């Protein structure tokens, strides 16, 4: 059987299109997972240059949705310092718009696969760091448009087996919310809501629930 040609530059086996073959792909994925937290956590498509295939990360997060309808407010902004010489010659200022949401409570769902974690080398220490980041990530990402974003409740369901003890949708249904004040008025702060687990208010910001 004819062997795949070897690249003189790096010694890797490649086909006629220059794509890495066999064990080279596996070694490339393993190295990326070892060196980069985001790759072993969320996965990556490594198809640029020498194709190293795809890594499926153990953590996946859904898009967040507001629990109640939100209304975006429009603000007019003015820019005096022009960015180019041509714009500066026109004189005057430039007008623009920015949109903000007065208040919104958003809910998102996340999933952690034990089997994919084993494949990428995602460890318990990596998971603990992820929980810490989820609680503190907005503290160092302020802007005029989202100056007061924060994580209010992080409820984690911990299974006893790698395949899980309960379907995810059944666990998510255990977490509900209700309005504490007049529902005819739009919510303007977190105290307008109450987060419930099995009908009981959740007091902790980070709560781990064992699923037996």
How far apart are alpha carbons 25 and 12 in whole angstroms?
A: 10
Predicted local distance difference test score (pLDDT) of residue 1: 47
Residue with tokens 């064990």: 23
| Predicted pLDDT at 116 | 96
94-123 tens-digit pLDDT: 788 888 889 999 999 999 999 999 999 999
Which run of H or of E encompasses 59?
A: strand 59-61
Sign of CA dihedral 182, 188, 191, 197: positive
Residue 106: what pLDDT?
Answer: 96
Q: Residue 153 and residue 206: Cα distance in Å, rounded?
A: 6
d(CA 196, CA 212): 20
What is the chain's length?
212
**64 and 164 both lie in a single domain:** yes
pLDDT below 50 — which residues of the chain?
1-2, 8
Predicted local distance difference test score (pLDDT) of residue 49: 55
Q: Do residues 23 and 82 share a domain?
A: no
Residue 174 has a pLDDT of 97
Q: Are residues 91 and 11 in the same domain?
A: no
Residues 6+ apart with CB under 8 A from 106: 64, 65, 66, 67
Task: Please tell me the chain's helix, strand, coil percentages from 3-state DSSP, rounded to the nearest 5.
Answer: 25, 25, 45
Expressed as residue numbers, the domain containing 114 is 58-68+104-211
**Other Cβ atoms within 10 Å of 128 Cβ, number:** 10
pLDDT value at residue 16? 57
Asked if 63 and 163 sit in the same domain, the reply is: yes
- Based on the fold, state whether residues 121 and 146 are members of the same structural domain: yes
Structural domains in the chain (count): 3
Domain co-membership, 39 together with 79: no
- Angstrom distance (rounded) from CA 53 to CA 38: 16
- Verify that 178 and 189 share a domain, yes or no: yes
Q: Are residues 151 and 207 in the same domain?
A: yes
SS3 114: helix
Residue 13 to residue 10: CA distance in whole angstroms: 9
166 and 64, same domain (yes or no) = yes
φ/ψ of residue 168, rounded to 5? -60, -40
pTM here? 0.78
Whether residues 76 and 98 fall in one domain: yes
């Amino acid at each position: 059987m004819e062997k795949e040609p070897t690249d003189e530059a790096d010694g890797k086996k490649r086909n006629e299109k220059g794509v890495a073959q066999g064990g080279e792909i596996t070694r490339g994925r393993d190295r990326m997972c070892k060196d980069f937290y985001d790759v072993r956590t969320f996965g990556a498509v490594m198809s640029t240059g020498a194709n190293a295939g795809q890594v499926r990360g153990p953590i996946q997060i859904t898009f967040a949705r507001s629990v109640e309808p939100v209304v975006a407010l429009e603000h007019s902004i003015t820019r005096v310092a022009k960015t180019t010489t041509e714009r500066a010659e026109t004189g005057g200022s430039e007008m623009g718009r920015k949109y903000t949401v007065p208040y919104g409570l958003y809910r998102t769902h996340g999933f952690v696969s034990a089997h994919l974690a084993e494949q990428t080398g995602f460890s318990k220490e990596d998971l603990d760091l992820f929980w810490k980041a989820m609680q503190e990530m907005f503290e160092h990402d302020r802007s005029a448009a989202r100056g007061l974003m924060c994580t209010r409740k992080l409820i984690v369901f911990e299974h006893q087996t790698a395949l899980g003890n309960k379907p995810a949708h059944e666990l998510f249904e255990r977490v509900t919310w209700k309005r504490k004040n007049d529902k005819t008025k739009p919510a303007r702060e977190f105290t307008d809501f109450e987060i419930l687990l099995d009908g009981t208010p959740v007091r902790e910001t980070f709560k781990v629930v064992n699923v037996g």
